[in-house]
Amino acid sequence: MQIEFSKYHGAGNDFIMIDNRTDDYRLWNALTPEVISQLCTRHLGIGADGLILAIKHDDQSAPYTMGYFNADGSRAEMCGNGLRCLMKFLADLGEPVRQMEQVGIVTGAGIVASRFADESTIQVAMPVPSFNPKDAKINLSEEAIQYEALIPGIVEPVTGTAVGVGNPHFVLYSREMWEGFEVHEIGQRISIHEELFPEGVNVGFARKEGPSVIALVVYERGVGPTLACGSGAIAAVGAGIAENRLNTGTRIEVRMPGGSLYVTISDDWSTAILEGTAEKVFDGVVTV
């Protein structure tokens, strides 16, 4: 089966985008986890941090669905950078999303509202950070804020905050810049620590650089270290507020290897806005 695709990125977080507005079952059947993993593998496939299907349906409140897959072919609840790329993809396909005041998109974490703030900037109303253990999907009975965890294979305990942003995150703040080998080694071991995180977890390595600026690298479950992570940016800001490092009602710049995203969590914790751009890289056709 030949499949037309487009490649997009948001702050370097890149995705294979496929138009499945007709919700064609043949496409679903063709995109097995093994095929998706092969397509996302760099050097041997197209190469991407994930694959996104754009689906359209008759619902005025939420006219689009994002089918999101990690690079290893597993399904994931949602992705903030992926949502922005989906908005740009839909606009490029001729969908009237630029003219809509608000676009409801169905994700595995529920309906998420998005909008074009201007010609290039896209805002996404992300799930508000939650520290409830059920939302953070951590195997504890109480909130894990600056929780000291013993991780197999890591000599010293790691201290982090478990956050649910539609998907699970564990954010570690440090005064020093995290090194690449630390991100990969520690991130991988925490991500697959099933006793504490039965469904796996995205691991954020953060450092405060100013009153409204943080640096962040995210080890994504099923992917590894990425250039950017939208939900990770929300989680890191939420954890920073919970740890009294950052303030609500402030536009926080989140500097990641692929570029900056901006996060604002309202004073009453009713909204969490992710802001950034999305860019098209190229189009192609692949046989699966």
Q: Which amino acid is at 1?
A: M
Name the nearest CA neighbour of 11 among 108, 112, 96, 83. Answer: 83
From residue 69, give the alpha-carbon distance in Å to each of 73, 165, 219, 241.
6, 17, 16, 30
Residues annotated as catalytic are 79, 229
Read off the tokens for 212: 């409204």
Q: Is 122 within 8 Å of 88 (Cβ atoms)? A: yes
Structure tokens at 9: 């990125």
User: What is the Cα–Cα distance from 221 to 211, expressed in whole angstroms?
Assistant: 29
Angle CA(84)–CA(72)–CA(240) in degrees, nearest 5?
50
Cβ neighbors of 171 (< 8 A, separation 6 or more) are 160, 161, 163, 203, 204, 206, 235, 236, 239, 240
Local confidence pLDDT in tens for the 288 residues of the chain = 999 999 999 999 999 999 999 989 999 999 999 999 999 999 999 999 999 999 998 888 999 999 999 999 999 888 889 999 999 999 999 999 999 999 999 999 899 999 999 999 999 999 999 999 999 999 999 999 999 999 999 989 999 999 999 899 999 999 888 888 889 999 999 999 999 999 999 999 999 999 999 999 999 998 899 999 999 999 999 999 999 999 999 999 999 999 999 999 999 999 999 999 999 999 999 999
In this prediction the pTM is 0.89
Q: Which residue, among 190, 217, 221, has the nearest Cα to 76 in the 3D structure?
A: 221
- Cα R_g (the chain), whole angstroms: 18
Number of residues written out for the chain: 288
And the tokens for 284?
């192609």
CB 66 within 8 A of CB 52: yes
What does each C-alpha distance from 252 to 81, 208, 212, 230, 262 come to in angstroms?
A: 16, 11, 5, 13, 6
190 and 236 Cβ atoms separated by less than 8 Å: no
pLDDT of residue 222: 85
